[in-house]
């Protein structure tokens, strides 16, 4: 499928901003994948661009792109919170670090991209995200494939019909924070956009930025293959990983040994529950047999039980806001679809649950900090004194 499919004009005349956004998307997609853009990616980008343009959200994406581009230009780390990582356009524009497509192999050298991973690994694939796939050589150029993809539907960010207003929350190092605020003011004053952009000064990103200077290793150069991730996590004390086990509603039997493990434990640890008296539960809660670490897990499980995308999204959104226990019709639909009673009870007890994009993005940031910690322990220990509320 060619790049023209991404740029295809709809019936409505395109605004100058929409034209600019589509051109940016085309140029960056061409740069990443070459002339032959994979069909799955071209279709996803065309769909997202059409939804974004139809709902007048081009301005929010364009402004978020400008802000994160400034971070990249200055080699200052940033982290985009929330569910923006569910957007393939946000990934292509560099607004987020996580690829929302299903697991696939991507070659940094020649751009070769293959979603048919079964032909390399057989029917049994143990990975739950692309970064956890075994290293494979690209048949096109002989360079090593990079695994990618977190399988996150666009609905988690846009809503089922694009009705959700884009919300970009960008955390970055203090070194650049005030400059970003100035850029935001300059651009937004001349840009009519619907959406929300939040800029935060993040101690996590500031610590990572400090480690870049102390180690002379850019955070972009940290290896993200399965072997490197396993080596770092295998030698890391699980209790030293921040944000895991909070709130203490779960008892994890195993330490995380993959990027998906970190994201999953972050998801469960940031899920809150409520009892019959509307009080937040503090006691340990058994993990369900079916996955429910994030909103995307629930969405995919409901789809596997035969629910349409619209119904799966609606029920997932109800669970996300802690309201499923009040919607008897939804509970009855789940029962009729033979969703296990244990899983239904688990979903009804949820007060709030996070999207996978937030967990995946932050899991990448935590892994980078753990990499610095293991390879440059003295420098890391010295810098950590400036951030005493982190307990690595």
Spatial contact of 149 and 104, defined as CB atoms under 8 Å apart: yes
Type and span of the H or E element at 168: strand 167-172
Helix (H, G, I), strand (E, B) or coil at 172: strand
Sequence-distant (6+) residues with CB within 8 A of 342 are: 288, 289
Provide the β-strand partners of residue 57: none
308-344 pLDDT tens trace = 999 999 999 999 999 999 999 999 999 999 999 999 9
- Any idea which of 41-45, 126-130, 187-191, 358-362 has the lowest mean pLDDT? 187-191
Residue 388's pLDDT is 62
Percent of all residues in the chain with a pLDDT value above 70, rounded to a whole number: 91
**Residue 392 in this model has a pLDDT that exceeds 60:** no
- pLDDT greater at residue 27 or residue 248: 27
The angle, 0 to 180 degrees and rounded to 10, between the axes of the packed helices 309-320 and 328-336 is 130
Element housing 105 (H / E): strand 104-106
- Asked if residue 219 has a cis previous peptide bond (ω within 30° of 0), the answer is no
92-101, 125-134, 135-144, 266-275: which has the minimum mean pLDDT? 266-275
What is the arithmetic mean of pLDDT over 114-129? 89
Output 385 or 130, whichever has higher pLDDT.
130
What value does the mean pLDDT take over residues 25-31?
95
Cα 351 to the center of its chain, rounded Å: 21
Adjacent-strand bridge partners of 352: 272
Lowest mean pLDDT among 200-214, 277-291, 378-392: 378-392
Confidence of residue 303 (pLDDT cuts 50, 70, 90): very high
Q: φ and ψ at 171, to 5 degrees?
A: -100, 135
Cα separations (Å) of 106 from 136, 138, 259?
10, 8, 17
d(CA 2, CA 331): 44
Proportion of the chain in helix, strand, coil states, percent, rounded to 5: 50, 10, 40
Neighbours of 304 (CB within 10 A): 12
What token pair was written down for 319? 């669970």
Domain boundaries, the chain: 56-101+150-201, 271-353
Q: Give the Cβ contact number of residue 279 at 10 Å.
A: 10
Distance CA 17, CA 52 (A): 12
C-alpha to C-alpha distance for 27 and 86, rounded to whole angstroms = 21
From the list 286, 276, 277, 268, the residue with the least C-alpha distance to 353 is 268
Residue 12 pLDDT more than 80? no
Which of 290, 272, 293, 296 is closest to 339 using CA atoms?
A: 290
> Which DSSP state fits 216?
T
* Contacts with 105 (C-beta within 8 Å, 6 or more apart), sequence order: 112, 113, 114, 117, 120, 130, 133, 136, 138, 145, 146, 147, 148
Angstrom distance (rounded) from CA 82 to CA 360: 10
3-class SS of residue 288: coil
- Kindly give the residue spans of alpha helices, DSSP state H, lying in 199-327: 203-215, 226-234, 259-269, 295-304, 309-320
Single pTM value for the model: 0.92
- pLDDT for the residue 320: 96
Q: What is the pLDDT of residue 123?
A: 76
Q: Quick one: pLDDT at residue 243? A: 57
* C-alpha distance from residue 130 to each of 114, 146, 224, 277 (Å): 11, 8, 10, 41
* Residue 113, SS3 per DSSP: strand
């Amino acid at each position: 499928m060619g790049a023209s499919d991404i740029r295809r004009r709809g019936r409505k005349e395109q605004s100058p901003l929409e034209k600019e956004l589509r051109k940016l998307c085309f140029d960056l997609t061409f740069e990443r994948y070459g002339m032959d853009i994979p069909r799955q990616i071209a279709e996803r980008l065309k769909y997202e661009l059409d939804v974004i343009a139809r709902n007048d959200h081009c301005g929010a994406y364009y402004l978020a792109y400008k802000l994160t581009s400034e971070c990249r230009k200055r080699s200052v780390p940033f982290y985009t919170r929330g569910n923006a990582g569910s957007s393939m356009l946000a990934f292509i524009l560099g607004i987020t670090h996580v690829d929302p497509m299903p697991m696939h192999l991507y070659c940094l050298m020649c751009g070769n991209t293959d979603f048919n991973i079964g032909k390399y690994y057989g029917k049994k694939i143990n990975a739950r995200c692309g970064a956890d796939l075994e290293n494979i050589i690209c048949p096109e150029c002989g360079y090593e494939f990079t695994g990618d993809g977190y399988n996150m539907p666009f609905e988690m960010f846009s809503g089922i019909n694009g009705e959700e207003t884009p919300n970009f929350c960008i955390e970055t190092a203090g070194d650049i924070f005030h400059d970003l605020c100035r850029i935001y003011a300059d651009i937004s004053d001349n840009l009519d956009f619907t959406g929300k952009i939040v800029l935060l000064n993040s101690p996590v990103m500031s610590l990572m930025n400090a480690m870049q200077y102390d180690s002379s290793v850019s955070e972009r150069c940290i290896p993200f293959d399965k072997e490197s991730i396993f080596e770092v996590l295998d030698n890391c004390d699980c209790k030293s990983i921040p944000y895991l086990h909070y709130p203490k509603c779960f008892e994890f039997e195993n330490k995380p040994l993959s990027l998906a493990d970190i994201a999953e434990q972050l998801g469960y640890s940031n899920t809150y529950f409520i009892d019959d008296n509307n009080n937040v539960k503090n006691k340990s809660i058994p993990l369900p047999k079916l996955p429910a670490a994030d909103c995307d897990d629930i969405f995919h499980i409901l789809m596997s039980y035969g629910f349409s995308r619209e119904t799966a999204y609606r029920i997932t959104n109800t669970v996300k806001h802690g309201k499923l226990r009040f919607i008897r019709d939804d509970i009855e639909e789940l029962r009729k679809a033979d969703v296990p009673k244990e899983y239904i009870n688990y979903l009804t007890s949820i007060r709030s649950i996070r999207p996978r994009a937030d967990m995946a993005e932050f899991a990448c940031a935590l892994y980078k900090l753990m990499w610095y910690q293991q390879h440059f322990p003295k420098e890391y220990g010295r810098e950590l004194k400036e951030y005493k509320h982190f307990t690595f």
